[in-house]
């Protein structure tokens, strides 16, 4: 199963993004940022589906001026 991991610049940005996604009714999960993606011990947001299936979500975040990096991951 392909999933997207959104990595943010700060914990405050994660919280802001989470609030925006909650208000938009987007299903998402908070997970610790995988070690290979970032050295800081931050949190990230995980979405099911590949990047192309999540364009609506990523547009919402961009519209709210929340920058992020997107990584696709295949997980069992």
Partner 1 sequence: MSIKPTLINMKTIDARGKSCPVPLIMTKKGVAEAAADESLVVLLDNETSAGNVTRFLQDHGMEVHTQREGSTITLTVPRGGAIPEQTDPAAWCTPDPAGTTNYMITIKQNTLGRGNDDLGQLLIKGFINTLPDIDHKPHTIAFLNAGIFLTLHDSPVLEALKKLEVSGIKILVCGTCLDFYQCKDSMAVGVVSNMYDILDAMTKAGKVIAP
Stretch that binds partner 1, among 1-9, 26-34, 57-65, 66-74 (CB under 8 A): 26-34
CB 57, CB 21: distance < 8 Å = yes
67 touches partner 1 by CB under 8 A: no
Q: Does 47 bind partner 1 (CB under 8 A)?
A: no
With beta carbons less than 8 A apart as the criterion, state whether 76 and 52 touch: no
Count the residues of the shown chain that bind partner 1, applying the rule CB under 8 A.
Answer: 10
Q: How far apart are CA 46 and CA 66, in angstroms?
A: 16
Residues lying near partner 1 in the complex (CB under 8 A) are found at 11, 14-15, 18, 29-32, 43, 46
């Amino acid at each position: 199963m392909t999933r997207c991991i959104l990595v943010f610049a700060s914990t405050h940005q994660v919280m802001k993004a989470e609030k925006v996604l909650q208000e938009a009714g987007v299903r998402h999960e908070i997970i610790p940022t995988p070690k290979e993606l970032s050295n800081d011990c931050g949190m990230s947001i995980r979405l099911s589906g590949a990047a192309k299936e999540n364009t609506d979500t990523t547009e919402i975040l961009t519209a709210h001026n929340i920058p992020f990096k997107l990584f696709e991951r295949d997980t069992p």
